Structure 1
């Protein structure tokens, strides 16, 4: 994920617009304009500036995994053999390229990465785990926690 060279200064209007967009990115700009007491043109300019500066990094549809046949959600702790730059770079590239990996966090505290993974079933998860972790010489060990229920996902940032 690319970050802007110098952070954009956000004012109260920007923050109000961001709160609304986090709730529903499809909210019409005229509706946002009414809610934040700006013109639609001003809202359009501000959204474009927020996108250009990297504050808004993208817009996506939130899809229920079970509705598309992905019944298993797993949280995976990955411990690499070493923390050398090349090992980290390779692991990031591998996890980033894998569609089943929905989220990936490089972390501190003795665990190299935390992954959120979705698959159709346990057989598919086992095949994925074998390919990404068991047969990967860079991985020392991994631990899988299977989610029983999706209580909250994709929450809006509080600011």
Structure 2
């Protein structure tokens, strides 16, 4: 992976975009004090370097609940029997391919993985457990914690000041 050098303008662009990716190029350029063509070129370079993975809309689950139902969010600890590279990579590949898995972290010490999953309801969680945990002979232990309230959700990379 190619290393990219970031200056103060690049950092400011990244901070502005992760706060609001819907900003127009004109507004973004004004906020970081560069010309619009320079801003466009820099953002393209940051995307091409893989620093900007994607731009998404973060939906308000509580506001959508009336129309869609609240759903069920769980934080799930997974421990495997065999922690060799092949076993870890196989489980990780299956987890990240499942749409119900919103986040997947390989962690240490303790469990091997922490997952954040979102499903429609408890039967949806049972189906997920069957797909990911029960059908994998290498899964030794599963511990699920069900969310009763989401107090904060802001995916954000912090930059040293």
Same fold (TM over 0.5): yes
State which of 7, 17, 30 in structure 1 corresponds to 2:3.
Answer: 7
Aligned residue pairs, count: 155
Structure 2 counterpart of 1:57: 53
Contact 1:65/1:118 (8 A) holds in 2: no
1:77-88 to 2 correspondences below 5 Å? 77-88=77-88
Q: How does 1:92-111 map to 2 (within 5 A)?
A: 92-111=92-111
Preserved contact between residue 105 and residue 114 of structure 1 (Cα < 8 Å): yes
Structure 2 distance, partners of 1:114, 1:138, is 16
- Which range is displaced more, 94-103 or 59-68? 59-68
Q: Distance in 2 between matches of 1:131 and 1:36?
A: 46
5+ residue gaps in structure 1? none
2:129 aligned with 1:129: yes
2:34 pairs, out of 26, 35, 38, with 38
Cα distance in structure 2, aligned partners of 1:33 and 1:58: 20
Using structure 2 for the length normalisation, give the TM-score.
0.90
* Unmatched tracts of structure 2, length 5 or more: none
The whole-number CA distance in structure 2 between the counterparts of 1:58 and 1:17 is 15
Q: CA deviation at 1:134?
A: 2.2
Runs of 4+ in 1 over 6 A off after TM superposition: none
- Residue 143 of structure 1 is matched in structure 2 by 143
**C-alpha distance after superposition, 1:14-52 (max 9, x if no partner):** 111111101111100110111111000000000000011
